[in-house]
Chains A and B, each alone.
Chain A
Amino acid sequence: MMASHDTMKAAATAQPLGLCRRGFRGTLVSVSPVATQGGFDPEELERRLLELGFIEGATVQILHEGPFGRDPIAIRVNDTTVALRRHEAMAILAQ
């Protein structure tokens, strides 16, 4: 996706959800997957995240962490709850 000037600026202070701990609460800044090993190609990952409701401006909150290695994480996005592995959550920037 083409990042606008605003999202570029915001992205400077935003952090990937994949690095956030339980209790983190913020606003989604951008969904921009980069090529990862394994899983989907970035375009497909982006589409799937969008379909789950991860869209710029959404409220996100990390509700739970998996019992082993704090992975996967359960994320409240607007009014649904979705589980993702941290690896994929790296594609989601929030602040």
Chain B
Amino acid sequence: MTQAASSALPLSTRTDPETQPIEAALVGAPNCGKTALFNALTGATQKVGNYSGVTVERKIGVARTPEGRQFSVIDLPGTHSLRARSPDEEVTRDVLLGRRPDERIPDLILAVADATNLRGALRLVNELKSVGLPIVLVLNMIDIARHRGLQIDHLALSQSLGIPVVTATAVRRGGLDALWEVVAPMLEAPLPAAQPATWVAPNSHDLRVAMREADRLVKAHVIQPAIPDTVTARIDRVVLHPIAGPVILLVLLFTMFQAVFTWATPFMDAIDAGFTWLGTLVAQVIPSGLIQSFLTNGVIAGIGSVIVFLPQILFTFLFILLLEDFGYMARAAFLMDRIMGRAGLNGRAFIPLLSSFACAIPGIMAARVIDNRRDRLTTILVAPLMTCSARIPVYTLIIAAFIPKTKVLGGLSLQGLVMFGLYAVGILSVLVVAFCARFFFARTERSAPLMLDLPDYKMPRARNVALGLYQRARVFLRRAGTVIFWSMVAIWVLSTFPQPPEGATGPAINYSFAAMIGKFIAPILHPLGFNWQIAVALVPGMAAREVAVAGLATVYAVSGDGGLIHTLAGQWSLGTALALLAWYIFAPQCISTLAVIRREAGSGKWMWIALIYMFVLAYVAALITYQIAALLGAG
């Protein structure tokens, strides 16, 4: 890591304020309400992208002073210190120090502090001063601080620090008035020129000095409330209770799954019906032939198969965003750390793995919160083993066809139990694989200890949650959508060409490249009890797991779920069905997940490791399942 080189020439340059609007950078710790302030400043003008070469989210938007002057605001990744530890924090440091050639140095730093917890922010400001840019310290969430009886003399603090200090409540209407009073005039006049950066990474002696200075400032300018706020302590006494805590976590998770699956179903049905209708419409308008087939089977079915998962992903994220805003996620990490630690995972991996129940893609992206490289890679490698929603169509199809609708153990549905079992095996395999993942890493690459802020609880804000959901939906549709779309097109080509000869009797797919590949790999899959039809369906199933269902319907030339269930029940043995379920717990049948692993892990190596280990596990699991079933007479 580059820590010295303070005298190195900046790679990027400051822009001429005459030609380009001023750029202000928001810098602050995670949880200080920085994103809320960014939302309040820029609203719907936000553009979310990536910094080049790294998968760190780049958020920029246009803000307007009450007088109407526009300036751009960049929301730099949250950091406690310029001593960067994660790729996100490195971006913040590098942008501020001009070490990113493609990124301009901001003209102004808006240092955001949680007014209820100033100490850390004051130390960060201390570091930021050595960057050489003009700084305004924003005491955010001032309403909560006042409500608790904290009194901050921000004018005196401003004098001690030698920089302007303003108060703000990003989430309230008019909450930025005090900020504009100071910042708007600054933007009208030319900003002070940047001084050369003198920042060097502080050592432990520097840190002690800086912490003591921050303590001194807090003592001098903040009057603590006579009666300390006890809401957080009281909630924690229940939520972190050794027995009640885990029970509450389980109940929350259970409620979340119920909600995700039941609430999302009507939306998914509607989307499904919409695309079916669209497909029928196109089929009516365009004469049958290659173009019609491409549009209906390739394009419309392809896009539909992606969008149908949007409701589940949004509901999952709704829960995650609410719990995160409330402050519960850090508590969940606290409760789960020991169990996850045994498996070699960090408590922070809990959130990414939870997201992976909806879809591994947002889960893998959420692994960015883990600052240690080894822990992050381990989480990325195991996230696809969590039972994502794309497995559900396959699971429900096979369960409906082969598991009788009987009640066992006093009223529990056997079908439900099998479903639960598939989820449980997924979770178990995550823990086991994470435990084994340590063998992939060099001895020198160590797992990081848990160091976690437990922030005060606060009410989630509807506007922030809505913006968060909107951004996640966009990211999902754009990233996953493009990859799945193109793979669907590729698979359409594979399963359409070459076309069946004149007078052919079987379904067209039987004459295609997909069938050739399927028949080619069929002997390899034979010991698993898979027939060539399954092998053919698994080829398009590489695009996304649920596509295999459509693949099976095409191969068996039946339409509708009911018909397919009936056909499968007649054609497969129980052993084959169970082996296919076992296969689907592990198989990496999702090109977009692999693409995201490649991007997030920063190299193709990890994608190949994931691909190979998951196929090996899938093969072994299906082999064992089928062979045992065959021994018991169900082959």
Chain A positions near chain B (C-beta within 8 angstroms): 1, 38-40, 43, 45-53, 55-56, 63-69, 71-72, 74, 78-85, 87-88
Given known pairs A46-B204, A63-B233, A66-B337, the reply for A38 and B246 (CB within 8 Å) is no
In the bound complex, residues from chain A placing their C-beta under 8 Å from that of B207 are: 47, 50-51
- The answer on a CB contact under 8 Å between B450 and A67 is no
How far is A53 from B119 in the complex, measured between Cα atoms in Å?
8
Establish whether residues B338 and A71, one from each chain, have CB atoms under 8 Å apart when the complex forms: yes
Q: Mark B566-593, 1 if CB is under 8 A from A, else 0.
A: 0000000000000000000000000000
> In the complex, how many angstroms separate the beta carbon of A72 from the nearest chain B beta carbon?
5
Answer whether A80 and B453 are a contact pair too, CB < 8 Å, given A53-B119, A74-B236.
Answer: yes
Chain B residues with CB under 8 A of A82:
451-454
Give the total of B residues in contact with A, Cβ under 8 Å. Answer: 43
B330 at the interface (CB under 8 A from A): yes
How many A-B contacts are there with CB distance less than 8 Å? 116
Which A-B residue pairs are the 8 nearest by beta carbons?
A: A68-B338, A83-B452, A81-B454, A64-B240, A50-B207, A67-B242, A39-B449, A88-B449
Q: A39-B446, A83-B334 are in contact. List 16 more A-B contacts (CB 8 A).
A: A1-B204, A39-B447, A39-B448, A47-B204, A51-B81, A55-B211, A55-B215, A64-B334, A67-B338, A71-B337, A72-B337, A80-B117, A83-B333, A85-B337, A87-B449, A88-B449
Of the residues A47, A63, A66, A87, contact of B335 by C-beta under 8 Å: A66
Q: Give, as a whole number of angstroms, the nearest-CB distance from A62 to chain B.
A: 12
Q: Chain A residues near B123 (CB, 8 Å)?
A: 51
- Please state if B120 and A72 are interface contacts (CB–CB under 8 Å): no
Indicate whether B341 reaches chain A with its CB closer than 8 angstroms: yes
Q: Is the CB of A69 within 8 A of B338?
A: yes
When each residue 230-261 of chain B gets 1 if its CB lies under 8 Å from chain A and 0 otherwise, what string results?
00110010001011011000000000000000
Bound: A72/B83 CA distance, A = 25
Which residues of A lie under 8 Å from residue B334 when comparing CB positions?
Answer: 64, 66, 72, 74, 83
Q: Taking the complex as formed, is B205 at the interface, i.e. its CB lies under 8 A from any CB of chain A?
A: yes
A78 to B118, CA, bound (A): 12
Is B203 an interface residue, CB under 8 A from the partner? yes
Contacts of B242 in A (CB 8 A): 65-67
Q: Assess the B454–A67 pair: CB atoms within 8 A.
A: no
Return B123 CB to nearest CB of chain A, in Å: 7
Q: Which residue of A lies closest to B119 (CB)?
A: A53
A52 to B333, CA, bound (A): 17
Q: Which residues of A contact B341 (CB under 8 A)?
A: 85
Bound-complex Cα distance A85 to B342 (A): 12
Q: How far is the CA of A88 from the CA of B341 in the complex (A)?
A: 14
Interface majority SS (helix, strand, loop, mixed), chain B: helix
Which B residues are CB-close (under 8 A) to A66?
242, 334-335, 337-338
B212 in contact (CB, < 8 A) = yes
Q: Are A67 and B335 closer than 8 Å at their CB atoms?
A: yes
Residue of A nearest to B243 (CB): A67
The answer to the question of B80 belonging to the interface, with a C-beta cut-off of 8 Å to chain A, is: yes
The verdict on B339 contacting chain A, using a C-beta distance below 8 Å, is yes
Is B605 engaged at the interface, CB distance under 8 Å to the other chain?
no
Is B47 part of the contact surface with A, judged by Cβ < 8 Å? no
Query: A68 touching B448 by the CB < 8 A rule?
Result: no
A84 to B450 alpha-carbon distance, docked (Å): 6
A-B contact pairs, 16 of them (CB 8 A): A50-B208, A51-B120, A55-B211, A63-B233, A63-B236, A66-B334, A68-B338, A71-B338, A72-B347, A79-B119, A79-B224, A81-B236, A82-B451, A82-B454, A83-B452, A85-B341
Q: Which B residues between 360 and 406 are near A, CB-CB below 8 angstroms?
A: none
Q: Find out whether the CB atom of B451 lies under 8 angstroms from the CB atom of A52.
A: yes
State whether A64 and B236 are in contact (beta carbons under 8 Å apart), knowing that A53-B120, A85-B450 are contacts in the complex: yes
**Complex interface residues of chain B between 332 and 351 (CB less than 8 A to chain A):** 333-335, 337-339, 341, 347
Q: Quick check: B446 and A83 within 8 Å, CB to CB?
A: no
| CB atoms of A38 and B446 under 8 A apart | yes
- Of the candidates B207, B212, B449, B452, the one having the most CB atoms from chain A within 10 angstroms of its own CB is B449
Q: Which of A51, A65, A68 contacts B339 (CB 8 A)?
A: A68
B240 and A72 contacting across the interface, CB-CB below 8 Å: no
| Residues on B with beta carbons closer than 8 Å to the beta carbon of A69 | 338
Q: Please tell me if the beta carbons of B83 and A47 are within 8 angstroms of each other in the complex.
A: yes
Q: How far is the CB of B400 from chain A (nearest CB, A)?
A: 38
| Alpha-carbon distance between A71 and B337 when the two chains are bound, in angstroms | 8
Give the nearest-CB partner of A74 in chain B: B454
Residues of chain B contacted by A56 (CB below 8 angstroms): 208
B144 shortest CB reach to chain A, Å = 14
With a cutoff of 8 Å between Cβ atoms, the chain A residues found around residue B347 in the complex are 72, 83
